[in-house]
Amino acid sequence: MRDKIDFVILWVDGNDSKWKRRRAFFSPEEKDNGSTENRFRDWGLLRYWFRGAECFAPWVNRIFFVTDGQIPPWLNREHPRLRIVSHEEYIPPQYLPTFNSNVIELWLHRIPELAEQFVLFNDDMYLIAPVASEDFFQKGVPMETALLDMITATDPEDCFPHTELNNFALINSHFNKKDVLRKHGGKFFSMRYGGNLMRNLLLSPFKYFSCFRDSHLPTSHLKSTFTEVWEAEPDVLEQCSANRFRSRSDVSHWLMKDWRICKGEFCPRSTGWGRHFELGMDKITEICRSIERQKYRAVCLNDSADDIDFEEIRACLTKSFERLLPERSQYEEL
């Protein structure tokens, strides 16, 4: 019998006036770029996430829909595979309310009834073609693309490189890079990585890990890894949990993924199974074509810029998703 695999999706309705008032009440005068308005705006595409899950991953055990008490009016709350989770159910009360996605993700292992194996989606990540459970786990081991990378930034105020540095300061304090590559070289230098394999070869001589490239796609996780990391670094994770908004002192759920990679607890996965896109009019034709032609199994549509033509891009995306997934799912009310 196949082990159960759950999906976890995080969602926030940034247009909700009650939520906006509460966010404004707790908001500091100065926030990092990870807390700008575009990070919270809703594109109105959530129903296509559920349609994709139903159509392309019918094998999923349950879907855990994590929100700050916000529920779309069209969502079928009675669906037997749907579990609606509020932050209060698993995040300690002293850290609530939180508007920091890193905090929301660091405590996921405490969600009641969540399976040991789960796949984490942000609400900008969509399945657009059939996927098998083996795309995420093989014999209980997460699928992963272990590509060495370097941390860089184009904006001194950007909080994301700081988060990666924090993650890997912990990784390097617990793992010796030379030992990791010696023990698990077959997984780091897998032919499944194609042309990206050269990057691993070139970066392997450096003494410390800088970071692993993250594809910004759904992440396969084990609850036990979260527990292990929390037991190893409780003070750091507690400190991060106190940040109501994203901060340069944060760590992220990628720390758990990176931890697993360094332990060799993963199976190499091809780099071409999904694609991360930055939303913008210069990319919208390519994005929509990729969705309609099912060029990838999964896509991330990252909303990282304030000055994009939101309404026009949303209309284009909606049209493409409607062409791909026109039928209402059982997760939608009639």
Mind listing the pLDDT tens digit for each residue in 142-164? 999 999 999 988 887 788 899 99
| Contact between 255 and 170 (Cβ < 8 Å) | yes
* Residue 87 contacts residue 65 (beta carbons within 8 Å): no
pLDDT at 159: 87
The answer to whether 321 and 45 have CB atoms below 8 angstroms apart is yes
Average pLDDT over residues 77-100: 97
Once rounded to an integer, what is the mean pLDDT over residues 130-144?
97
The pair of three-digit structure tokens given for residue 257, joined into one six-digit string: 């993924």
The stretch 164-187 carries a mean pLDDT of: 97
Most confident of 49-58, 186-195, 210-219, 274-283: 49-58
**Whether pLDDT at 1 is above 50:** no
Return the structure tokens found at 287: 């994005």
Q: How many whole angstroms separate alpha carbon 320 and alpha carbon 334?
A: 22
pLDDT interval class at 49 (50, 70, 90):
very high
Average pLDDT over residues 226-235: 98
pLDDT of residue 215: 84
Q: For position 2, what pLDDT does the model report?
A: 61
Is the alpha carbon torsion for 153, 154, 157, 159 positive or negative? negative
pLDDT at 6: 98
CATH superfamily, with its number, for domain 5-324: Spore Coat Polysaccharide Biosynthesis Protein SpsA; Chain A (3.90.550.10)
> What does the pLDDT read at residue 334?
72
Helix (H, G, I), strand (E, B) or coil at 123: coil
Coil, helix or strand for 84?
strand
Question: What is residue 156's predicted lDDT score, i.e. its pLDDT?
Answer: 77
- pLDDT (average), residues 296-319: 89
DSSP 32: -
- For residue 5 the two structure tokens come to 């695999």
CB 92 within 8 A of CB 105: no
What is the chain's Cα-based Rg? 19
Q: What does the pLDDT look like over 256-285, one tens digit per residue?
A: 999 999 999 999 999 889 999 999 888 999
pLDDT score of 41 more than 90: no
How far is the C-alpha of 131 from the C-alpha of 261, rounded, in Å? 22
Given this model, what pLDDT does residue 31 score? 56
- pLDDT of 112 above 90: yes
pLDDT mean over 120-136: 97
